[in-house]
A and B are shown apart, each in its own frame.
Chain A
Amino acid sequence: MINTCALILAGLVAAPLVGGLVNGLDRILTARFQARVGPPVVQPFYDVVKLLGKEKTVVNVWQAFCAYCYLAATAISVVLFFLQSDLLLILFIQAVGAVFLVIGALSSTSPYSQVGAQRELLQILSYEPLLVLVTVGIYLETGSFKIGQVYAWNEPLLLKLPFLFVVLGYALTIKLRKSPFDLSTSHHGHQELVKGLLTDYSGPFLALTEIGHWFEVVLILGLCSLFWATSWIGMIIIVATTYFLEIVIDNVSARMTWRWMLGYVWAMGLTLSVVNLVWLYVE
């Protein structure tokens, strides 16, 4: 019981802190790639604190509802991950968060929010099937959707699921809205899309979406860690390498269109998944 409470607390408190720090590191690394110094590593926290202190303004009251629901869903999915619950269920719950973010954006009549929301839906459409197939692969190998049993598996999953790990990489890049998949919103609020999905979230509500995003980052890192769960070092290496690669890809690629994303990701992702799944079925 105490153990469960500790895990829930860890999920609720430690996870966003880690997510924020990872975000800070991301910004420093990106700055270095672009020959800048970059902000301090705790800058994301400064930003969020500042946003939380701002005056509440909304375009539509239901935006507040959606921001809270987004935060709640991402937090619940991370807590369930810490409690080593069911992988497929966790995917469903993080999708709830994504959907509320979209509904919140759609509740504004600004064309930038609207277009951003539509593109976010296309991003969800692109990565959801892939994430499901990755969990199916994990189930076929370990015989369980429960994270506890996946962590207890005595062999690194990467050896049996290499292609599915690549597929997970695609899905994560889209989920994190990194280039070339930063279609619905991006870090740079001065492009054709303004801030897309997030255009009309402002002040404390924007802060909530930012904290929700930190939870998502942690969930994603957790999913990566499943692929080398036999040792702590392996886990840290695989997570760090993956995230580093995400940042590199983000910096070396340009934004593409949604048509390209849907076609390319489904073609590549589904093919790689099928190859890997067939391999597992044959065994």
Chain B
Amino acid sequence: MVTNEWNIVIVEELIFVLIVLPFLAAICSYLIRSGAVRSFIVLATGSLMAASALLLIPRVPFAFSPKALFGVGVHDIILAADFFLLFLILYFGFKHHSLVIKILALFQIVLMAYLEFFLIRDDAAFLTIYCDNLTLIMVLIISIVGSIICVQAIPYMKNHEEHLDLKKSRQHRFFFVMILFLGAMNGLVLSNDMVFFYFFFEVTTLCSFLLIAHDGTETAIKNAVRALWMNSLGGAAFIVALVLIYKEMGALDMQRIVHTSPAAGLCLLALALLCFAAFTKAAQFPFQGWLLGAMVAPTPVSALLHSSTMVKVGVYLVLRLAPAMNGTFLSQCVALFGGFTFLAAAALAVGQSNGKKVLAYSTISNLGLIFACAGLNTPEAVTAAILLIIFHAVIKALLFLCVGTIEQHIESRDIEDMRGLYAQMPLTALITVMGVIMMIMPPFGILLGKWMAMEAAARNLYVIIMLAVGSALPVMYWARWAGTLMSDPFAGRFRPERQPLLTWGALASLCAAGGILSIASPWLYSRMIIPALNGNYVPPYTVHVGILENSFGVFPVLPLCLVAALGFVISIWAVRRAARARIIAPYLSGLQTAEPGVFRGPMNRLVKAEARNYYLSSIFGEERLTTWINLGAAVLLTLLVGGAL
């Protein structure tokens, strides 16, 4: 714990930069409608947040309760803002004629009033801010990856609005919500008082609604409304859980819940409801609809929702509560549900040729795996979950930004239209392929996490079968995509295409981060993840010269990285030599012509040879699977909540 008073002052300042500054910066970028000033605000806020998050590293763990902000009690601010927020959601319910949203908002207003004015005693005060290594990891992801995405959004939105031919720029609104989102996320992960947590939880719901609706088209509004009601459902479950927890324990203190592990009676039901809320945020089946619909928004929004914010709220919440659920039926249900989602979403991804949809299903699938790990609740599994959160955030952000860049260039997000993209956009195509490789191949971080998860799940028959089948499916859709990008008639010399500097900066930094963090993963494990286990779990692996080992498994991270790097260098050397080799036309089983892909067929006619990827929609198509998967997920959810009763 931080004892030094000077240190406490610094920590308070850093927390101010991480939570309050984004709110202020958001308001500034809304009010000052000049592109240059806005870009400056985004860059400055992003850098400040990233720097503050890094400065926080040597100062954890710490906990404190700020009394007042600008002379007003913090608790009063949150309370007022919370009611304002709920009434705002109610307003959107009326505006878009959605009965579900109206009912859910009213329900939350009533329960919130009941909780605040009748239940919680006036003198009650819970520890407001608590930061351990798990929180710190989240803060780092949000502040660094989130900021990079916002920075890339500057050139993206400029292009986007030029393309839409807007008379009046709406970027001030866009960046207002984006920056606000980051502040809310930091607030959420740092909150220990669950009323604060709930407030930020609702802010992220509203932010994602506003961002999805940003383009204002009919589909955008429809999908945004769907996101709002699905997430309001989670919010409603959350507030019911709060009431139950307060009635049972007399406190709304996250750490107290974790440490007393009150996994019985009403508290268990409350934990189940919190898991339910987490599943809606993380777009697990049957709530996948809102995340799939979110792809109508500009791509930086998808990148933000999928990688560092929103969906990560769900996994963070469950991972935070995991020690309290240890050994319960609820925990097993979460593992089962996560495993099911992992498999089902991967199957649906195989059937998609829409690049963004593949990414979306892959996100749902990976989050399912993280939930499965949290549910398995062994030290290995929790370590895997934290690793997966880190690497998924970095690499999914990278892939979304790549698809966004590609989409603005070729005006399509269909994988078939990206055939031979290497000829047009060599560097972006290569970075995308790197991202794909980091998704599916060792020694990169995601595979390290998958390896841990599978070895941890081996003692659970149902989960391991789903993980075994589900881990083969991603190979199919990622390898197919990577190969399609490189599929081209030989394009001659390598010339990177022109892109704004900020775009290159964002792509390169995320790509490099994925690689460097993978190499550093043994260090990441011993320096960041062991402290994040908080003494709730025994550190599962020993680290010896970059080799992670426990009693039943071993993953030589550093040696493998070195060998892989050597193999990579040799292969690149082979490419350079092959560039001098004779380039021949692909075999077409006919007389070749000068035009690529065309051969002289029967009757001396020219025939164009074409091939497309297998998407197997008769097996993995959405129409075929979605109903059954939703049904299965609903059954598991019923089991999860019902079992807690």
With both beta carbons as reference points, the residue of chain B lying nearest to A83 in the complex is identified as B556
Q: Interface code B577-611, partner A: CB below 8 Å = 1, 0 otherwise?
A: 11101111111110000001100000000000111
Q: Out of A95, A111, A277, which one reaches B475, CB within 8 Å?
A: A95
List A230-250 residues whose CB lies under 8 Å from chain B: none
A185 interface contact, C-beta 8 A = no
Contact assessment for A110 and B490 in the assembled complex, using a CB-CB cutoff below 8 Å: no
Contact flag A108-B610 (CB < 8 Å), given A132-B471, A136-B468: no
CA distance A273 to B469 in the complex (A): 12
Contact assessment for B553 and A88 in the assembled complex, using a CB-CB cutoff below 8 Å: yes
B584 — which chain A residues lie within 8 A by C-beta?
57-59, 202
Contact assessment for A59 and B585 in the assembled complex, using a CB-CB cutoff below 8 Å: yes
Contact assessment for A106 and B570 in the assembled complex, using a CB-CB cutoff below 8 Å: no
Contact assessment for B578 and A64 in the assembled complex, using a CB-CB cutoff below 8 Å: yes
A37 interface contact, C-beta 8 A = no
A115 — which chain B residues lie within 8 A by C-beta?
611
Q: Out of A63, A88, A125, which one reaches B455, CB within 8 Å?
A: A88
A251 interface contact, C-beta 8 A = no
Contact assessment for A109 and B487 in the assembled complex, using a CB-CB cutoff below 8 Å: yes
A99 interface contact, C-beta 8 A = yes
Contact assessment for B483 and A117 in the assembled complex, using a CB-CB cutoff below 8 Å: yes
List B566-584 residues whose CB lies under 8 Å from chain A: 567-568, 570-572, 574-575, 577-579, 581-584
A222 to chain B, nearest CB (A): 17
B476 interface contact, C-beta 8 A = yes
Contact assessment for B578 and A76 in the assembled complex, using a CB-CB cutoff below 8 Å: no
CA distance A92 to B447 in the complex (A): 8
A95 — which chain B residues lie within 8 A by C-beta?
475
A140 — which chain B residues lie within 8 A by C-beta?
458-459
Q: Interface code B421-460, partner A: CB below 8 Å = 1, 0 otherwise?
A: 0100000000000000000111000010011001100110
Contact assessment for A103 and B479 in the assembled complex, using a CB-CB cutoff below 8 Å: yes
B97 to chain A, nearest CB (A): 45
Contact assessment for A103 and B581 in the assembled complex, using a CB-CB cutoff below 8 Å: no
Contact assessment for B578 and A106 in the assembled complex, using a CB-CB cutoff below 8 Å: no
A200 interface contact, C-beta 8 A = yes
A152 interface contact, C-beta 8 A = no
Contact assessment for B440 and A99 in the assembled complex, using a CB-CB cutoff below 8 Å: yes
Contact flag A93-B583 (CB < 8 Å), given A61-B575, A63-B578: no
The segment from A22-30, A142-150, A157-165, A211-219 that touches chain B is A142-150
B505 to chain A, nearest CB (A): 26
B612 — which chain A residues lie within 8 A by C-beta?
114
Contact assessment for B479 and A93 in the assembled complex, using a CB-CB cutoff below 8 Å: no
Q: Interface code B155-186, partner A: CB below 8 Å = 1, 0 otherwise?
A: 00000000000000000000000000000000
A173 interface contact, C-beta 8 A = no
Contact assessment for A110 and B571 in the assembled complex, using a CB-CB cutoff below 8 Å: no
With both beta carbons as reference points, the residue of chain B lying nearest to A116 in the complex is identified as B611
CA distance A42 to B291 in the complex (A): 58
A49 interface contact, C-beta 8 A = no
Contact assessment for A106 and B455 in the assembled complex, using a CB-CB cutoff below 8 Å: no
Contact assessment for A128 and B479 in the assembled complex, using a CB-CB cutoff below 8 Å: no
Contact assessment for B555 and A89 in the assembled complex, using a CB-CB cutoff below 8 Å: yes
Q: Interface code B325-356, partner A: CB below 8 Å = 1, 0 otherwise?
A: 00000000000000000000000000000000
Contact assessment for B479 and A99 in the assembled complex, using a CB-CB cutoff below 8 Å: yes
B282 to chain A, nearest CB (A): 25
With both beta carbons as reference points, the residue of chain A lying nearest to B588 in the complex is identified as A110
A64 — which chain B residues lie within 8 A by C-beta?
571, 574-575, 577-578, 581
Contact assessment for B442 and A89 in the assembled complex, using a CB-CB cutoff below 8 Å: yes
B589 — which chain A residues lie within 8 A by C-beta?
112, 194
B100 to chain A, nearest CB (A): 39
Contact assessment for B582 and A56 in the assembled complex, using a CB-CB cutoff below 8 Å: yes
CA distance A62 to B479 in the complex (A): 14
Contact flag A88-B554 (CB < 8 Å), given A59-B490, A76-B567, A109-B420: no
B486 interface contact, C-beta 8 A = yes
B450 — which chain A residues lie within 8 A by C-beta?
92
A261 interface contact, C-beta 8 A = no
CA distance A58 to B490 in the complex (A): 9
Residue of A108, A140, A143 with most partner-chain B CB within 10 A: A108
Contact assessment for A144 and B575 in the assembled complex, using a CB-CB cutoff below 8 Å: no
With both beta carbons as reference points, the residue of chain B lying nearest to A281 in the complex is identified as B461
Q: Out of B441, B552, B567, B578, which one reaches A56, CB within 8 Å?
A: B578
With both beta carbons as reference points, the residue of chain A lying nearest to B447 in the complex is identified as A92
A112 — which chain B residues lie within 8 A by C-beta?
587, 589
B119 interface contact, C-beta 8 A = no
Contact assessment for A69 and B567 in the assembled complex, using a CB-CB cutoff below 8 Å: yes
With both beta carbons as reference points, the residue of chain B lying nearest to A85 in the complex is identified as B554
A52 interface contact, C-beta 8 A = no
Contact assessment for B583 and A55 in the assembled complex, using a CB-CB cutoff below 8 Å: no
Contact flag A93-B442 (CB < 8 Å), given A60-B490, A76-B567, A109-B488: yes
Contact flag A60-B488 (CB < 8 Å), given A88-B451, A122-B614: yes
Contact assessment for A56 and B488 in the assembled complex, using a CB-CB cutoff below 8 Å: no
B496 to chain A, nearest CB (A): 16
Q: Out of B459, B551, B610, which one reaches A111, CB within 8 Å?
A: B610
Contact assessment for A65 and B572 in the assembled complex, using a CB-CB cutoff below 8 Å: yes
B398 to chain A, nearest CB (A): 18
CA distance A149 to B554 in the complex (A): 12
CA distance A124 to B471 in the complex (A): 11
Contact assessment for A68 and B461 in the assembled complex, using a CB-CB cutoff below 8 Å: no
Residue of B450, B458, B490, B551 with most partner-chain A CB within 10 A: B458
List B501-528 residues whose CB lies under 8 Å from chain A: none
B24 interface contact, C-beta 8 A = no
CA distance A278 to B460 in the complex (A): 10
A113 interface contact, C-beta 8 A = yes
With both beta carbons as reference points, the residue of chain B lying nearest to A278 in the complex is identified as B461
A277 — which chain B residues lie within 8 A by C-beta?
461, 465
A89 to chain B, nearest CB (A): 6
Contact assessment for B475 and A92 in the assembled complex, using a CB-CB cutoff below 8 Å: no
CA distance A139 to B476 in the complex (A): 26
Contact assessment for A72 and B570 in the assembled complex, using a CB-CB cutoff below 8 Å: yes
A127 to chain B, nearest CB (A): 8
B464 interface contact, C-beta 8 A = yes
Residue of B484, B552, B574 with most partner-chain A CB within 10 A: B574
Q: Out of A109, A118, A124, A266, which one reaches B586, CB within 8 Å?
A: A109
Contact assessment for A129 and B471 in the assembled complex, using a CB-CB cutoff below 8 Å: yes
What are 23 A-to-B residue pairs whose CB atoms are below 8 Å?
A58-B582, A59-B584, A64-B575, A65-B575, A67-B574, A69-B568, A72-B563, A89-B554, A103-B482, A112-B587, A112-B589, A117-B483, A121-B475, A122-B476, A124-B476, A125-B475, A129-B468, A144-B552, A145-B552, A199-B587, A200-B586, A273-B465, A277-B465
Since A60-B487, A86-B554, A121-B479 are in contact, a sample of 12 more A-B pairs with Cβ atoms closer than 8 Å, ordered by chain A residue number, is A61-B579, A88-B553, A106-B483, A107-B487, A108-B586, A113-B586, A114-B611, A122-B614, A124-B472, A124-B476, A144-B551, A144-B552
A residues at B contact (CB < 8 Å):
55-65, 67-69, 72-73, 76, 85-86, 88-89, 92-93, 95-96, 99, 102-103, 105-115, 117-118, 121-122, 124-125, 128-129, 132-133, 136, 139-140, 143-146, 149, 194, 199-200, 202, 262, 266, 270, 273-274, 277-278, 281
The 8 closest A-B pairs by CB, nearest first: A106-B483, A110-B586, A114-B611, A128-B472, A64-B578, A72-B567, A56-B581, A132-B468
B residues at A contact (CB < 8 Å):
420, 422, 440-442, 447, 450-451, 454-455, 458-459, 461, 464-465, 467-469, 471-473, 475-476, 479-480, 482-484, 486-490, 551-556, 560, 563-564, 567-568, 570-572, 574-575, 577-579, 581-589, 596-597, 609-614, 619
